[in-house]
Structure 1
């Protein structure tokens, strides 16, 4: 595309913070013109439930872009008429949060393009980033694709692959993926206009689904292995937070790792009480020891080391500090408790 060509006219549809880097990248490229931004209505947020605009509206206002909010784009006849009058080359969607009808998909001259946070056809659906961590994947990425009526079934355009860190949380991975979406969308749109990017049909037989998780899905079952539990805790951090119960109180576990006992020291003066034989005892959920870096907890297989947690109604804190305050020392020893997946009723007095 020469420098004298008309810019690529797009309408951007997005809502949460995940969409922000993509819109910034598209605005910054002089080959692209943003004719309008479409987002969801203001919603109550925070403890005060104050009516708050979506992050994309705030950004669009700051950039001086025309922005429209709609409860349902498929039912918003005035908005659809306006979009048709704009005659955009593309609609570009990044976590918009509404289902598009064929009438809306047909508005742009060329196509409706979506940036999806997985390496399609893997993890179609609402929670691809969370599922990638839950299933212990070593890689994930962003796929740009043509939008169809089916959920994430459209032909693929470009992909960008990221390696998932061994202790990376959903929040951290989401941020990295969001930063990747913008440059990939720019390359996709420019490539579609000049013909260098061609759609590739997905291998539908290889598709996997990433369903929306409920809050109860984040409750930890201590019969699972330490490896499985640390995947779940990373996948539910920051929201809603993987949770367990201690004496009926809800506790969120935020940073953990599978415990690897230190190599045995066979010197004559060895006095360590943290040998593998000692810590691999107790029922699943049993807090086995308070160590310098946190807590050791027995699981169905192996030991989990908890580094930080969040008691109900409080902020995140080091697990060791919490335990030293929670478990009072009696005659020089601490009676450590047992985490449970159940919020048991208090015993009668």
Structure 2
């Protein structure tokens, strides 16, 4: 984004803090009509919110008031949501709690991961943000308060949040793997080493459970089948420490996994 802006003669300012290095004075000197904010990751102080003539508009990757916070895309997938969307809102002191201008809904594909959904929401959100700014400037569009019902949060994710919860049922395990990829990354442990799980699928599995959740039920012929708290999943793409990502068949040719071993 910085390279694109500079190539078109648009001034770029890197903010470490609003209160350091004369940042507020520099922003005020620009006499902005709007602040259009996307994935900024910082709370705007009241002095900054008051600077633009027509206000501060944020594009958020959820249907507010659901999934306020830093990881709305991951949270929607991990929680098994079938739809999500993007919302433009007037920024307020409380994170993602400002009144809403416009929103657009979209279904979540059952095999879509967080990275793929993020790219798709960006394509939906960009024109929605432009439309919001245009209508506020030309039509005086006013935002509506968020309803008090349906508020949920999506806090910042840490690396350890990617650990696969094998004790959940297979659908939820699959949702976790989709939701945590590519960031912070879904992983498990096998023989004490970290094993990244990049893609999986819910298995058509009706056999009796063997061992505790995380047990390898099958590892042959390109199939890696792992038991869950209910049902099982097939691991489709994995990455061992220091190795490149591989499909299951190729992975098994270079990494001998034994039936009965346990991921944890």
TM > 0.5 fold call: yes
Alignment partner for residue 147 of structure 2, among 203, 217, 221? 203
2: CA distance between counterparts of 1:80 and 1:300? Answer: 53
Give distance in 2, aligned partners of 1:209 and 1:238. 20
**Cα deviation digits, residues 62-97 of structure 1 (max 9, x gap):** 332111112102x03633223222222111111122
Measure, in 2, the Cα distance between the counterparts of 1:231 and 1:99. 30
1:194-245 residue CA offsets vs partner (Å, 9 max, x unmatched): 2263211101332111111221121123222111111110111112221111
Aligned equivalents of 1:339, 1:251: Cα separation in 2: 12
Unpaired runs of 5+ in structure 2?
A: none
Q: What secondary structure does 2:210 align onto?
A: coil
**Preserved CA contact (<8 Å) 2:161 2:184:** no
- Counterpart of 2:5? 60
Between Structure 1 and Structure 2, whose CA radius of gyration is higher?
A: 1
Q: Does 1:336 align with 2:259?
A: yes
SS at match of 2:259: coil
> What SS is found at the alignment partner of 1:206?
coil
**Paired position in structure 2 for 1:319:** 248
Question: What per-residue deviation string (whole Å, max 9, x for no partner) do you get for residues 273-311 of structure 1?
Answer: xxx43x643432121123555311111110111111011
Question: Residue 117 of structure 1 aligns with which residue?
Answer: 61
CA distance in 1 between partners of 2:97 and 2:60 (Å): 11
**Secondary structure in 2 matching 1:238:** coil
Quick check: 1:301 aligned with 2:230?
A: yes
Output the CA distance in 2 between the equivalents of 1:165 and 1:123.
18
Note closer, same or farther for the CA distance 1:292–1:196 as it changes in structure 2 (3 Å cut). farther
Question: Structure 2-normalised TM-score?
Answer: 0.94
Residue 142 (structure 1) aligned with residue 142 (structure 2):
no
In the superposition, the TM-score normalised over structure 1's length comes to: 0.72
Deviation digits for residues 123-158 of structure 1 (CA, Å, limit 9, x no counterpart): 001111110001100111110000010011100001
Cα pair 2:169 2:228 within 8 Å, conserved: yes
What SS is found at the alignment partner of 1:67? coil
Cα distance in 2 for partners of 1:85, 1:162 equals: 39
Unaligned runs of 5+ in 1: 1-55, 262-275, 329-334, 342-349
Q: Aligned pairs, how many? A: 264
Post-superposition offset of 1:111: 0.7
What secondary structure, in the 3-state scheme, does the structure 1 residue paired with 2:74 have? Answer: helix
For residues 254 and 23 of structure 2, the distance between their equivalents in structure 1, rounded to whole angstroms, comes to 57
Conserved in 1, the CA contact under 8 Å of 2:5 and 2:12? yes
Residues 244, 339 of structure 1: 8 Å contact kept: no
Distance 2:134 2:198 in 1: 41
In structure 2, distance between residues paired with 1:71 and 1:86: 18
